[in-house]
Amino acid sequence: MTSSQSGGTYGLSFREVSKTYGGSRLRPALENFSLEVTPGEIVGMVGLNGAGKTTALRIAAGLTSASSGKVFVRGHDVALEKVRASSQLGFVPEYPYFESDVGSLKLLQYFAGYHDIHGNPAIQQCRDLLVKVGLEGQETARLRTFSQGMKKRFSLAAALIGSPAVLLLDEIVNGLDPEGVYFVRQLLLDLRREKKAILLSSHVLSELQDTADRFAIVHRGRLVKLFSRDALRKVGPLPLRITLSNFDQQAVDLISSYGRVSVEENRIWVYDLKVDPGELSAALGRSNYRIIDLRIEEPSLEHVFLELVREKDSNPKKEVK
């Protein structure tokens, strides 16, 4: 059996990948990480800083090697068939860096050469890509004049040269204004319709929730949960959100007797509520607290993520389902 045959999916496949930096005595940056991203699918990786998300992306891009395990891009082993795998993959790092004193079209043409695309076909494809990422009219502009958001768009154009089947995107909306975020979201949906397999990480969990088909929760180097957007809608139990006009610490103490609380400004989230919401509302009224709003929170990726991390940290050996 060849590595191409053993790669399984024709998108992106991680097979029990581990990575340890600085010796085996340290906790692995990535441990027994297995994940598949199929063509026409967007998978969002969610995790705290240092969870292993960027390490996974860099291994898949061939920028660092795995300590063990394998990664396949369209069936090609990244370690053993690096050239063939790389030709099918586009990568946008969190902080893209390019030669700053070169025009955008000229630099894209240079990158196209690595894909064996030259002459008029390279010029045409690079012009089309600048249009696709919203940089039409910037063909001769030097990258040192670009804003951070424009550099992110340019990095997307560079990643799309040669029409790769797999895209790795690290914090793609970081540094973008609301218009840029909306533009990138629409572009990702277009790329999904083109049957690209897309793996992206982001701290903007609301953006992932609106874009990704599945979510991979990564914590301390391990994939602790993988679930679909439909599964997110069915998650429970959900927290109760309370907003008070006369918020104080005594209110927090009172509500804490009815469940586990989290506080932000004058809003209180109550998890694992022990009573009916009406009973808690009545108790607040008896203590002369004025309720502006009391509602069951809508399911959110942030809620699921924080609960999974809390559960995993409180019981590291427990398998999270």
Domain boundary among 233, 260, 289: 233
Would the pLDDT of 313 be above 90? Answer: no
Q: Could you tell me which residue, 117 or 181, shows the higher pLDDT?
A: 117
Domain boundary among 233, 264, 281: 233
Per-residue pLDDT at 263: 86
Q: With respect to residue 68, please indicate whether it lies within any of the assigned structural domains.
A: yes
Per-residue pLDDT at 317: 56
Would the pLDDT of 78 be above 90? Answer: yes
Q: With respect to residue 315, please indicate whether it lies within any of the assigned structural domains.
A: no
Distance of CA 124 to the CA centre of its chain: 31
Q: With respect to residue 306, please indicate whether it lies within any of the assigned structural domains.
A: no
Task: Determine which of 11-15, 49-53, 76-80, 177-181 has the lowest per-residue pLDDT on average.
Answer: 177-181
224 and 158 fall within a common domain: yes
Residue 143 is part of a domain; what is its CATH number? Answer: 3.40.50.300
Would the pLDDT of 260 be above 90? Answer: no
Per-residue pLDDT at 2: 41
Would the pLDDT of 1 be above 50? Answer: no
Average pLDDT over residues 10-32: 86
140 and 274 fall within a common domain: no
Q: How many domains does the chain have?
A: 2
Would the pLDDT of 3 be above 60? Answer: no
Q: The domain containing residue 202 runs over which residues?
A: 3-233
Per-residue pLDDT at 174: 81
Q: Tally Cβ neighbours within 10 Å of residue 276.
A: 9
Q: Tell me the two tokens of residue 181.
A: 């975020």
Per-residue pLDDT at 320: 46
φ, ψ dihedrals at 42, nearest 5°: -110, 120
Per-residue pLDDT at 127: 97
Q: Tally Cβ neighbours within 10 Å of residue 252.
A: 14
Alpha-carbon gap, residue 117 to 92, rounded angstroms: 20
Per-residue pLDDT at 7: 52
Q: With respect to residue 140, please indicate whether it lies within any of the assigned structural domains.
A: yes
Alpha-carbon Rg for the chain, nearest whole angstrom, is 23
Q: With respect to residue 311, please indicate whether it lies within any of the assigned structural domains.
A: no
Q: What is the pTM of this model?
A: 0.79
Query: Residues 13-23: pLDDT tens digits?
Result: 999 999 998 76
Q: With respect to residue 102, please indicate whether it lies within any of the assigned structural domains.
A: yes
93 and 145 fall within a common domain: yes
Query: Residues 170-191: pLDDT tens digits?
Result: 988 887 888 888 898 899 999 9
197 and 107 fall within a common domain: yes
Q: With respect to residue 274, please indicate whether it lies within any of the assigned structural domains.
A: yes
Per-residue pLDDT at 77: 96
Would the pLDDT of 10 be above 90? Answer: no
Percent of the chain with pLDDT over 70: 91
Q: With respect to residue 312, please indicate whether it lies within any of the assigned structural domains.
A: no
Query: Residues 197-245: pLDDT tens digits?
Result: 999 998 778 778 888 999 999 999 999 989 888 887 666 567 888 999 8
18 and 56 fall within a common domain: yes
8 and 33 fall within a common domain: yes
Average pLDDT over residues 1-23: 73
151 and 75 fall within a common domain: yes
The type of residue at 206 is: S
Cα–Cα–Cα angle for 153, 64, 46, nearest 5°?
60
Per-residue pLDDT at 50: 87
pLDDT averaged over the chain? Answer: 87
Would the pLDDT of 319 be above 60? Answer: no
112 and 39 fall within a common domain: yes
Task: Determine which of 40-49, 94-103, 239-248, 257-266 has the lowest per-residue pLDDT on average.
Answer: 257-266
Per-residue pLDDT at 303: 72
Domain boundary among 191, 213, 233: 233
Average pLDDT over residues 90-97: 89
At 163, the pLDDT band (50, 70, 90 cuts) reads very high
73 and 106 fall within a common domain: yes
253 and 222 fall within a common domain: no
Would the pLDDT of 4 be above 50? Answer: no
Q: Where are the alpha helices (DSSP H) in the chain?
A: 3-6, 53-60, 82-86, 104-114, 119-132, 148-159, 178-193, 205-211, 229-233, 249-256, 277-286, 301-314
Per-residue pLDDT at 236: 58
CA trace torsion 308, 314, 319, 321 (10° rounding)? -30
37 and 7 fall within a common domain: yes
98 and 222 fall within a common domain: yes
Per-residue pLDDT at 234: 67
Residue 32 · residue 69 · CB < 8 Å: yes
